[in-house]
Amino acid sequence: MLPLASSTSTPTSSSPFSSVSGFFDSGYWVALERIAGLFALALWLALAFWTAKDARRRIDDPVIVAVCVAAAVLFGPFGVIIYLFLRPPEYLEDVAERELEIQAMRRRLGAEQVCPYCRNPADPSFLSCPHCGTKLKNACRRCKAPLDPEWRLCPYCETAVVPSSGASRTPRDPVVQRTTTDV
């Protein structure tokens, strides 16, 4: 009877964590580890690719772009976070567009004076363009100050401006004199 009792009551060495340790030894856990590793690798490469694209759109210097991409490849998500803190706030296209808008506003406001005929720079005090000879402004009869065509009165000496007629335009020297209305 003794052998029967000993065979039915064999003690098993089961602990409360044996099912958990069994899961970590199973094929499911190995497959989950591999899928997570592939996902982490894909995320790492995707972040590096995104950093390369974004840096090329924001930074003009190829060396700095290469450093940003290298930081994203070497340090992964931490390198991308560092890049996000240090990257320029605007795209290069936006900067160029803003510069064009500023230039257009300066032209409209008259801050950048150019000859309407040859497009060379002309000082606001010039009566004629030194490059092509185009007459830019009329001179005051009394003080010889440059006057805008719209002015009716000289702001410097208060002399009334006489409207210029087409017959008063005479060429000087060998340069043909053009007015801004001829352009």
Residue 123: per-residue pLDDT: 81
Establish if 87 belongs to a structural domain.
yes
Residue 98 and residue 54 share a domain: yes
Q: How many domains does the chain have?
A: 2
pLDDT of residue 182: 55
- Same domain, residue pair 124 and 165: yes
Of the candidates 66, 84, 62, the one whose C-alpha atom is nearest the C-alpha of residue 74 is: 66
Decide which of 68, 93, 112 is a domain's last residue.
112
Q: What is the pLDDT along the chain (183 residues), one digit of tens a residue?
A: 445 444 454 445 567 777 777 778 888 889 999 999 999 999 999 999 999 999 999 999 999 999 999 999 999 999 999 999 999 999 999 999 999 999 888 777 765 677 878 888 888 778 888 888 888 888 888 888 888 878 888 888 888 887 765 434 444 444 445 555 555
User: Per the domain annotation, does 134 fall within a domain?
Assistant: yes
What does the pLDDT read at residue 179? 55
d(CA 180, CA 82): 56
Residue 10 lies in a domain: no
CA 75 to chain centre: 26
| Type of residue found at 59 | I
In this predicted structure, what is the pLDDT of residue 100?
93
pLDDT at 60: 94
At residue 150, the pLDDT reads: 82
Q: 105 and 39, same structural domain?
A: yes
Is there a domain that residue 7 lies in?
A: no
The pTM of this model reads: 0.50
Q: What is the DSSP letter of 12?
A: P
In a domain, 15, yes or no: no
Dihedral pair phi/psi, residue 70, rounded to 5°: -60, -40
Q: What type of residue sits at position 180?
A: T
Residues 146 and 171 in one domain: yes
Range of the domain at 138: 119-183
Are residues 72 and 88 both part of a single domain?
A: yes
Helix (H) or strand (E) holding 139: strand 138-139
Query: What's the residue count for the chain?
Result: 183
Residue 22 resides in a domain: no
Taking Cα atoms as reference points, which of 79, 159, 155 lies closest to residue 66? 79
Residues 101 and 52 in one domain: yes
Amino acid at 61: D
